Chain A
Amino acid sequence: MATAFFERIRGVFARVPRRAYVAAALLVAVLFPVLNTFDVVQTAWIRVGVLSLLFVMLSLGLNIVMGETGLLNLGYIAFFAFGAYTTALLSSPKFGLQWPFIVLLVLSALIAMAAGFLIGLPTLRLRGDYLAIVTLAFGEIVRLTILNLQPLTNGPNGITGIYPPQPLGEAISKWLAGVGLPEAVTNWLVIDKPNEYYYLVLFCVGITAVLLSNLKNSRVGRAWNALREDELAAVSAGITASRAKLLSVVLSAGIAGFAGSLYAFYSNVISPESFIFMQSVIVVCMVVLGGMGSIPGVILGAIVLQALPQIIRESAGAARSEFEVYRMLIFGVIIVVMVIFRPEGLLPDKVWRREVHEEDPRELEMTRQSLFDLEEGEKDLEV
């Protein structure tokens, strides 16, 4: 009886078109800060919102390598760090520079992409779990390097006083400020309030989501999916594995770098503490929880794992540090439970849902291991 009831409810929800959900979500997202101006929602929550959105962007980026292409990355936060430090070093008192906002956004993404290329190129032929470990090592090397290169990065103290961005550029902003526009408009010339950051990041995330959604259903996205499903068959069907994988890694690195730049501007202060291995794991957790390969899924995963703990903490009134421990504990439990019982995530991508339940008896027929599996020990002129 109860199951029939839940089935009815699920049926009702399923009949609502996707577009309606997207529109509703967008509406809530856009109106959120408005509630703050009317003091319905506290500013602290807007801050949670900004961070959540930044993690949404990270999840979207990681989804490309993990969800679409099937490459595990346990050092993803390193690209975030590249972006953040690029921006921080070029727009703060540290070296007394203040490069233009747009330039820094693009440059941060480009530098992260270069890093992605450097790590992607030698790891193209690595098998899944080895790749995971290499990326982990890479992430740690980046963090330790940042920590130790003190003349450049201030080491553990990090970079402080990052200048707030001026989206229209310094010259135009100054001119417009002098023209005599109402304050509501001139406020937006310099982005230094949580609400303003919120809309900036929301805008960037929205565009990213749309672009990536287009990509998913395109020739490029199909190639990634094919590689993930069966690399041998994909390569025999004409897909150049190295190019496709590199593209995927570089793109995802670029998105992380871009997010890192926004983070540096928003956060005003960055330090190596924000780029520890655990953070990479958290992003992985967001993608897995939300649903690998599914754009709405990873968005949900990011928001749940970033905002929910804050909500719980507020209502429980727990101490900060104590809460951290429990938060991580629950994260770990979530990963294990999700992976065992619902590896396709909360809002699964249809293809992934089939794929992760692979040891289904009817699937065994479609076994992919042939006698000529080239995964390990490829014949080569190696030593």
Chain B
Amino acid sequence: MDTILELQGVSMSFGGLKAVDSLSFDVKKNEIVSVIGPNGSGKTTTFNVITGLYEPDSGDILLKGESVAGLRPDQVHDKGISRTFQSLRLFADMTVLDNVLVGMHSNTNGGLVASMLRLPSVRREEKAMRARAQEILAMFPGRFSGPRQGQPAYSLSYANRRRLEIARALASDPVLLLLDEPVAGMNPMESREVMEQIRALRDAGHTVLMIEHDMHVVGGVSDRVIAMDHGEKIAEGTYEQVANDPRVVEAYLGKRGADTAS
């Protein structure tokens, strides 16, 4: 099986604090891997390092065998990694459709002069882009139909905003999709819907690395789960294995909780 992503001994410190400590794991093609852990365990920092927001102090990050550590975020995106954000970073004042179109930026190449002159090639590309964007939005059936596409993103409901961010990440047909808490703040029905969609993404050939706190979702879609605490990987395996790992229970519930559990 192809390895899409591999982290080798990645470490990242801020000042004196070691946010990520010699982290190593991999994600294989068509897998859904979840990263769990209590707050402050370094999950989002790991994402930030993978996507190039930070340069790791040591270690390497390989995407399909090619090192991407230290690349800029847009370069990492060009290599095929797209992400969503824990705190939702949509282009709030731009329309729904425009948000998705921005995601396609690196796959298209309408240049400055061609755009100014509205050459036929640019017009054709725009049309194709819009069609594709609508296709992607249709992945969430009924949520982004017709007039809603022209609405500003901030007018969407919270759940729709999360969906839109996923749509934007999909726009570039990424090799690896990084979802940072995709169902945060959603009710169980909405979470289940997103779960289905993540599964559908996997079936369609995508590879997903996900940070999540909602254990229903984690247990429901993950092929593998990685647990982190204080920047280190403390457990890895199937959901059942990791959920029952005493170290993991201790991380979440504290020592007493671990003792009670076992």
So, do A and B actually touch in the complex, CB under 8 Å? yes
A residues sitting closer than 8 Å to B (CB atoms) are: 211-212, 214-215, 218-223, 225-226, 229-230, 232-241, 247, 251, 350-352, 354-355, 362-363, 365-368, 370-372, 374, 379
Q: Is the CB of B90 within 8 A of A233?
A: yes
B117 touches A214 (CB 8 A): yes
Q: Give every chain B residue within 8 A of A226 (Cβ-Cβ).
A: 91, 94, 102, 105
Contact with A along B137-165 (1 / 0, CB 8 A): 00000000000000010100010010000
A355 CB, nearest partner CB in chain B, Å? 5
Q: How far is the CA of A363 from the CA of B45 in the complex (A)?
A: 26
Answer whether residue B78 sits at the interface, using C-beta atoms and an 8 A cutoff: yes
Determine which of A212, A239, A379 lies in contact with B102 in the assembled complex, contact meaning CB atoms within 8 Å.
A239
By the criterion CB–CB under 8 Å, are A222 and B89 in contact?
no
Q: How distant is B156 from chain A, measured CB to nearest CB, in Å?
A: 10
Which B residues touch A366, using CB under 8 A? Answer: 88, 90, 92, 154, 161
Residues from chain B with a CB closer than 8 A to the CB of A354 are 92-93, 152, 154
| Contact present for A363 and B154 (CB under 8 Å) | yes
| Minimum C-beta distance from B153 to chain A (A) | 8
- B-side interface residues, number (CB < 8 Å): 52
Q: Is B103 an interface residue (CB 8 A)?
A: yes
User: A interface, by DSSP: helix, strand, loop or mixed?
Assistant: helix
A379 to chain B, nearest CB (A): 6
Contact of B93 among A214, A229, A365, A379 (CB under 8 A): A229
A230-B168 Cα distance, complex, nearest whole Å: 14
Contact present for A230 and B89 (CB under 8 Å): yes
B118 within 8 A of A: yes
Q: Residue on A with the closest CB to B14?
A: A379
Mark B107-122 against chain A: 1 for CB-CB distance below 8 A, else 0.
1101110011110001
Residues from chain A with a CB closer than 8 A to the CB of B48 are: 372
Cβ of B93 and Cβ of A219 under 8 Å apart? Answer: no
Q: Is the CB of B102 within 8 A of A370?
A: no
Task: Pick 21 A–B contacts, CB within 8 A, sort by A.
Answer: A212-B116, A214-B117, A215-B116, A219-B126, A219-B129, A222-B98, A222-B101, A225-B91, A225-B98, A229-B94, A233-B90, A236-B53, A236-B83, A238-B82, A238-B103, A238-B105, A239-B106, A354-B152, A366-B161, A372-B53, A379-B55
Distance of B141 from chain A, by nearest CB (Å): 24
- Decide: A239 and B74 in contact? CB cutoff 8 A: yes
Q: Determine whether the beta carbon of A363 is less than 8 Å from that of B72.
A: no
Q: Which residue of B lies closest to A239 (CB)?
A: B105
Which has the most chain B C-beta neighbours within 10 Å: A225, A233, A236, A355? A236
Residue of A211, A241, A251, A363 touching B92 (CB-CB under 8 A): A363
A225: contacting residue among B94, B108, B117, B125, CB under 8 A: B94
Q: Which of A239, A247, A251 has the most CB of B within 10 A?
A: A239
> Which residue from A218, A368, A370 sits with its C-beta under 8 Å from B110?
A218
Instruction: Give the residues from 46 to 76 in chain B that come closer than 8 angstroms, CB to CB, to chain A.
Output: 48, 51, 53-55, 72-75
Tell yes or no: B34 within 8 A of A by CB. no
Contact B94 A351 (CB under 8 A): yes
Q: Which of B83, B86, B91 meets A370, CB within 8 Å?
A: B86
Q: Which of B162-178 contact A (CB under 8 A)?
A: 168-169, 172
8 new A-B contacts, CB < 8 A, other than A215-B115, A219-B125, are: A211-B116, A218-B115, A235-B73, A238-B103, A366-B88, A368-B89, A372-B44, A379-B54
What chain B residues lie within 8 Å of A238 (beta carbons)? 74, 77-78, 82, 103, 105-107, 172
With contacts A222-B102, A223-B102 taken as known, whether A215 is within 8 angstroms of B112 at the C-beta atoms is yes
A381: nearest residue on chain B (CB-CB)?
B55
The answer to whether B92 and A237 have CB atoms under 8 Å apart is no
Given known pairs A354-B92, A366-B92, the reply for A237 and B87 (CB within 8 Å) is no
Given contacts A219-B115, A370-B86, A379-B55, whether A233 and B74 have CB atoms under 8 Å apart is no
CB pair B118–A367 under 8 Å, yes or no, is: no
Q: How far is the CB of A302 from chain B (nearest CB, A)?
A: 20
Verify B110–A235 contact, CB threshold 8 A. no
List the A residue with the shortest CB-CB distance to B107.
Answer: A238
CB of A254, distance to nearest CB on chain B (Å): 11
Query: Closest 8 interchain pairs by CB?
Result: A238-B106, A218-B115, A233-B89, A238-B77, A354-B93, A211-B116, A219-B110, A370-B87
